[in-house]
Structure 1
Amino acid sequence: MFENLSTRLQKILRDLKGEGRISEHHVQEVMREIRMALLEADVNFKVVRDFVAEVKDKALGEDVLKSLTPGQQVVKIVRDELVHLLGDEPEPVSFSKVPPSCLMMIGLQGSGKTTSTGKLAAWLAKNGRQPLMLSVDVYRPAAIKQLEVIGESLKLPVFESAEMDPVERVLQALKHCR
């Protein structure tokens, strides 16, 4: 989602170079691109509507900081609003009192779930946890292999099972962890 949004923004922001103020025309153009990128990434319509309205309110007519171009100023406003939308302060991860704690990664195909799983497992290991990764994407065997490769490169365990029923794979992994 962020890569798509970034690409779209860069295209629009080239037009803002040399402007001293952010005009309503420029803001509307940028907001249209942001709206489309977020909607194409399956972000809820109401969230998109509120986000775009907030960015537009903050960007319209705002004097550009001397150290920034108008394009950079819009990017800063969008970034600040994304941070605010996603949470200004990091939330601590809470784990169950009785192990194991399970974290499920869900997302669109190609959205980075497997890579993010590896990064999350590495972070957990670095913070004293004992992660065990498991792929239940049995319909795409390359996903299982990809997780194994990531596990090997991070020297972190990946649960292996010949079982091809996703629910059974999870139950086996839970049993293994207990």
Structure 2
Amino acid sequence: MSKASTDFDSPWKDTLEWYFEPFIRLCFPQIHLAIDWSRSCQFLDKELQKVVRDAQVGRRFADKLVQVWLTNGQETWILIHVEVQGKQETNFAHRMYTYNHRIADRYNRQVLSLAVLCDGSPHWRPTKFKSNILGCKVKFQFLMVKLLDYKEKWEELEQSNNPFATVIMAHIKSLETRKNQ
């Protein structure tokens, strides 16, 4: 992995770890309601690295694997995949499926996959991977949030006391700055 992509990933990885609960509350409110926040979350970086051996140069995404407990007492793992590159990636949904399957297979855990798209394209919105070979079908759906959509909710973000709202506002401004250069 190149130093440039590592430097780009690091702020996202750190931010997700520092503000995990506010991030989930703002971006995935239905998931937030299902998590038992009285129990601590555990970040499983070592476990994630054992299954994600993606050595592509120029990799432009950050991943987090987090163990949480649901309000019904069930343990689950959440894979958060942040796509920070500025262009569409044709194999993104396939990679989401692959990571989900590898983690579930290796650790025998149910995995909730969440995608955070940070690009500036309003039309790129992958949410599923499908494969069908002679009747053998795979269909995998994941939840996705597009940070660009929050541009329409700017006043809401400004008034929010959620620290992740500031992160989203800064990201939107950085997209605008890049576009103007």
Q: Same fold (TM over 0.5)?
A: no
Determine which structure has more spread, i.e. the larger CA radius of gyration. Answer: 1
Greater helix content: 1
- What TM-score comes out, normalization by structure 1 length? 0.29
- What TM-score comes out, normalization by structure 2 length? 0.29
